[in-house]
């Protein structure tokens, strides 16, 4: 993978469409499930939200450290969707060459805004930011 500070935001893709974080390293949102989230940790809030399943596929010839991955969501006019980390899961650890891993992230989103969600996926060592438009 390429390392560096500068990143490039790619054109939005739809759910199920992979996009390149870096050469031969792909990220996608494979499922978005509306739900009611129950806060379980300090600072979290309960209410309507979504589970977003993110998949990363490593078609490179080197292992990738998934601890550098960041997944964020926003809705409407770029309003940040609050993560509910205690019931979501994050991708972490090492992804072997040829491997694929998925995790389910939880975000608070008003019921009437589920179709306007955008998910940003980036990696600290990758040049691209993958944007997934749920309504696309």
Contact status, residue 60 vs residue 109, Cβ threshold 8 Å: no
Give the E-state strand segments of the chain in sequence order.
8-9, 19-22, 25-37, 47-58, 64-65, 69-75, 79-80, 82-83, 94-95, 100-108, 118-123, 128-133
- CA–CA gap between residue 69 and residue 76 (Å, rounded): 24
5: three-class secondary structure by DSSP: coil
Q: What is the pLDDT of residue 34?
A: 97
For 28-82, the pLDDT digits (tens) are: 999 999 999 999 999 899 999 999 999 999 999 999 999 999 999 999 999 999 9
Q: What is the pLDDT of residue 115?
A: 94
Query: What are the extents of the domains in the chain?
Result: 13-133
Q: Is the pTM of this model over 0.75?
A: yes
Q: Say whether domain 13-133 belongs to CATH 2.60.40.1240.
A: yes
The residue-averaged pLDDT of 12-27 equals 97
């Amino acid at each position: 993978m390429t390392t560096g500070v500068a990143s490039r935001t790619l054109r939005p893709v739809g759910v199920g469409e992979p996009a390149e974080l870096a050469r031969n390293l792909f990220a996608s949102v494979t499922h978005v499930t509306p739900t009611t989230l129950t806060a379980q940790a300090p600072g979290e809030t309960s209410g309507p939200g979504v589970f977003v399943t993110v998949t990363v596929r490593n078609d490179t010839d080197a292992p990738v450290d998934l601890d550098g991955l960041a997944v964020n969501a926003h809705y409407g006019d770029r309003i940040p969707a609050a993560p509910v980390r205690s019931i979501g899961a994050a991708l972490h650890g090492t992804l072997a060459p040829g491997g694929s891993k998925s995790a389910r992230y939880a975000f608070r989103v008003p019921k009437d805004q589920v179709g306007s969600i955008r998910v940003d996926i980036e990696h600290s060592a990758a040049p691209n930011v993958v944007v997934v438009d749920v309504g696309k």
